[in-house]
Amino acid sequence: MIIKISRPFWSYDVQKTEEWLASMAQKGYELIRINRLTRYFYFQQGESNVANYRIVFDKVPNQSLSKGLLNFGWTKVLQSGKWYVTMNKLPLEQIRTFPDREGIVKHNKKIMYIFMGILIYLMVALLNVILISTIAMSVSKVGHFNVFNGPYGFIPATALGLSIILCIFTVYSLITLNKTNQRLTGEFIQPNKQNGQGTSPLKDRLSKNEKKRLKSSGQLVMKWKLGWMYAPDRLEAWLEGMEEKGYNLYSVGKTGTAFYFKKGKPRKMCYCADLQNTADTNYFNIHTDSGWVCLYHSSSWSQKWVLWGQEYVPGEVKPQIYSDKLNQLKLARRIALTYSAMFLPLTILYMYIIGLNVRLSDYADLDRLEIINLILYAILILMFGSYVTRTWLYYNRLRKLHQ
């Protein structure tokens, strides 16, 4: 007997889909086909099996499994387009090699870029509607303006409804895909944690009670460092200075702004805050093999900040991740260009809105709400402008240092 089950968003969370496939195998349902268009999974009734599944995305068609995967019991169940499903009947603890996840992470990021473009378009369109409505209301003789009235009022109403639905779906997709990529990226870093090289240079992790006791006694202190990514060289110098004073970095908060230090002995530590568009297995393996410890990695899907640390003996050459000056300058320029691309368009847009409101004030007085909005826009201009300025000052400092 063949059954089919619909899973419309199966590719959004492949780990959840893999668990579902394993549960279906336990019930005796063997996967035989996937229809990517209709999102249906087809199963054939058979014997109950205990199996582990891994879903893979690969651009190369008809890619066969490597010898390493075959030796560890992996078999290809089926392939549908660039997606294929692998299975392993060995117990999970006996499996040492798993199919690569990088294809799925890159594929998800491409989809997220598309959704981000749609979301930006919707937000800009909504902003334009608000501006046009504001202008129409200000020039209306009756003091109000309603685009939903009239024989064709259903058109803007329908467009607004579809836009809201699309906006909700876009936000849902971005959040779900981002969470999936975080979990899949965690699989990259997991081997380092198992080797004791996870998120802290200290080998012994503190329990919650021990943390509370150390905090109350002043042995564990927390300090905020907001906006350090706009001047990463300042953060590195600050952390190294804290280490020389005997404040050893213990951990970094999830948002990357809270730094926890444990009072200990002064030591020589070298820190490096690195920005990556993507951070895969090779990136972490290369640096950990060179003696660096990953202390923090951001969860952003579009760009990943990674904080590395390495202790060295006083008098020895200070270790560096990027010893080449050209690479350091390239990284600094990339940081400046990235944040300029993010914040300059918003800064210009807010300046345009303020200019437009000032011109409208010649025809009608601004009310209290409009004045508050103008003040908020001015604060945002100063804030975003400072971000862009700090990144270019960082690039300029590094350029002068290498001259």
pLDDT of residue 41: 94
Confidence at residue 395, expressed as pLDDT on a 0 to 100 scale: 92
Closest CA to 107 of 39, 37, 184, 5: 184
Answer whether 0.85 is exceeded by the pTM.
no
* CA dist 334 → 94, 117, 306 (Å): 43, 21, 15
Q: What is the pLDDT of residue 22?
A: 93
pLDDT surpassing 80 at residue 139: no
pLDDT of residue 309: 92
Q: Of residues 281 and 49, which shows the higher confidence score? A: 49
In sign, the C-alpha dihedral spanning 242, 245, 250, 253 is negative
Tell me the mean pLDDT in the region 177-188.
78
| Range among 69-73, 221-225, 314-318 rated most confident | 221-225
Per-residue pLDDT of 46-62, as tens digits, reads 888 899 999 999 877 77
201-253 pLDDT, tens digit per residue, is 444 567 778 888 888 888 899 999 988 989 999 999 999 999 999 999 988 98
What pLDDT sits at residue 181? 84
For residue 241, the model assigns a pLDDT of: 95
Query: pLDDT higher for 192 or 183?
Result: 183
| pLDDT at position 154 | 67
Mean residue pLDDT across the chain:
82
Query: Residue 201: its pLDDT value, please?
Result: 47
| pLDDT of 68 strictly over 50 | yes
What CA–CA distance (Å, rounded) separates 231 from 297?
A: 17
pLDDT in the model for residue 6: 92
Is the per-residue pLDDT at 143 higher than 60? no
pLDDT of the residue at 277? 67
pLDDT > 90 in the chain, percent: 29
Interval 110-130: pLDDT, tens: 898 888 888 877 877 777 666
pLDDT at residue 369, as a whole number: 73
Please, which pLDDT band fits residue 266 given cuts at 50, 70 and 90? very high
Per-residue pLDDT, 190: 46
Please write the tens of the pLDDT for every residue from 219-230: 899 999 988 989
What is the pLDDT averaged over residues 96-118? 85
**Which of 24, 19, 20 lies closest to 3, judged by CA?**
24
Q: Which helix (H) or strand (E) holds 3?
A: strand 2-6
pLDDT of residue 146: 61
Which helix (H) or strand (E) segment holds residue 378: the answer is: helix 368-401
DSSP annotation string for 110-170: HHHHHHHHHHHHHHHHHHHHHHHHHHHHHH-TTS---TT-STTTHHHHHHHHHHHHHHHHH
For the stretch 6-36, pLDDT in tens is 999 999 999 999 999 999 999 999 999 999 8
- Over residues 82-104, mean pLDDT: 86
Q: What is the pLDDT of residue 302?
A: 63
User: Among 146-150, 354-358, 369-373, which stretch is predicted with the lowest mean pLDDT?
Assistant: 146-150
| pLDDT reading at 306 higher than 60 | yes
| Residue 262: strand pairing partners | 220, 248
Q: Which pLDDT score is estimated for 389?
A: 93
Tokens of 241: 């200075």
pLDDT band for position 148 (cuts 50, 70, 90): low
Token digits for 102?
A: 């990088």
How are beta strands 40-45 and 75-80 bridged, if at all?
unpaired
User: 1-37 in b/e burial notation, b at 16+ Cβ within 10 A?
Assistant: eeeeeebeebbbbbbebbebbeebbeeebbbeebeee
